[in-house]
Amino acid sequence: MSIDRLDGRLIELLAEEPRIGILEASRRLGVARGTAQARLDRLQAGGVIKGFGPQVDPAALGYPVTAFATLEIKQGQGADVRSHLSTVPEVLELHTTTGHGDMLCRLVARSNADLQRVIDRVVGFDGIVRASTAIVMENPVPLRIIPLVKQAADD
Amino acid sequence: MSIDRLDGRLIELLAEEPRIGILEASRRLGVARGTAQARLDRLQAGGVIKGFGPQVDPAALGYPVTAFATLEIKQGQGADVRSHLSTVPEVLELHTTTGHGDMLCRLVARSNADLQRVIDRVVGFDGIVRASTAIVMENPVPLRIIPLVKQAADD
DNA sequence: GGTGAAAGGTCATTAAG
DNA sequence: CTTAATGACCTTTCACC
């Protein structure tokens, strides 16, 4: 789905100040409320905006340690490993990838010591041959989308 | 910050149906509207809920390819690499890590061919010694937080 | 609990592709 | 001719005091 600059500015506005609402957003964009409403509806229907769920910070919940684990999987065990990992709350996301590893997952833990427990739980499963973990020290660029939205709007 | 089961259920509710609002949420939780409001305020003040910004799907924007790049950095060039990567819209997040690589970044691209352009732009920088990229094929567990919230609420 | 405000819907009109 | 934007009006619902 392609978006124009108005869509882009609307997304930026809502990202910066989600509380302003459609009416205020339309005022700031200099368009009628119905227009802003129609753009938002279209963005949601097109899947560009998946929702407005709360953004929860794991660190504030007591899980300040993040790590990425690269997993090597026994052939044919992919599905089992997937369902195993989906039962571990500390596994925040899981991808299957090309390259040396077969899967990459993002983990959080209460501490470095707790991370050992999480990793043991993750890799304590038959289908996983090997795991290599990288602990996150800093996060210079937190998950962001606005620069990409701007680029997509300018195409 | 620690949360209880009511906080947890409130977060779950808002994650599933962000549009319901505080009043409807309080009804479903079986508590007074002021209680739900107070809980939400506390969660936001405590940083557990960082906001309600729109969740944008890069794939719907025309960037269906995701990859993770592990970067090895020349000593002392970390800050330069950081600011370089922050200028690339396709870099959605960047972490500094322990382990063999020094940094891990999440990339998106319009296609596998386009990914080459993105990687060239990312690694076309003096401070980066080596890069190894893993292209994401599937995403069996998309970024999630609810299981962790439930666990934190049950502690 | 009351009140001002916003969301969400519909409509006719107008502009632009 | 088709699509989109606009301003008007209306009703329900919510957020805030």
Pick the CATH number of B58-135 from 3.30.70.920, 1.10.760.10, 3.40.630.30, 3.40.50.11540: 3.30.70.920
- Are residues A146 and A87 in contact, defined by beta-carbon separation less than 8 angstroms? no
The predicted-structure confidence for A32-85, as pLDDT tens digits, reads as follows: 999 999 999 999 999 999 999 999 999 999 999 999 999 999 999 999 999 999
> Does the beta-carbon distance from A95 to B136 stay under 8 Å?
yes
pLDDT at B155: 87
Residues of chain A with CATH 1.10.10.10: 5-54
Chain B within 8 Å of A134 (Cβ-Cβ)?
Answer: yes
Q: Which of A3, A51, A140 sits opposite B18 (nearest CB)?
A: A51
Task: Write the single-letter amino acid at A64.
Answer: P
- Is the pLDDT reported for residue A155 higher than 90? no
Where does CATH 3.30.70.920 sit in chain A?
A: 58-135
**Model pLDDT for residues A124-147, shown as the tens digit of each residue:** 999 999 999 999 999 999 999 999
A64 close contact with B: CB closer than 8 A: no
- Domain B5-54 annotated CATH 1.10.10.10: yes
Give the number of A-B residue pairs with CB atoms closer than 8 Å.
222
Other C-beta atoms lying within 10 Å of the C-beta of residue A107: 25
Chain B: give the shortest CA distance to residue A118, in Å. 12
What integer best gives the mean pLDDT of chain B?
95
User: Which nucleotide lies at the shortest CA–C1' distance from A4?
Assistant: D4
Structure tokens at A155: 């195409």
Distance CA(B121)–CA(B115), nearest Å, equals 10
pLDDT band at B145 (very low <50, low <70, confident <90, very high): very high
Put residue A93 in one of left, alpha, beta given phi > 0 → left and psi -120 to 50 → alpha.
beta
Residues 6+ apart with CB under 8 A from B107: B66, B67, B68, B69, B90, B91, B92, B115, B118, B119, B122, B133
CB distance from B82 to chain A under 8 Å? yes
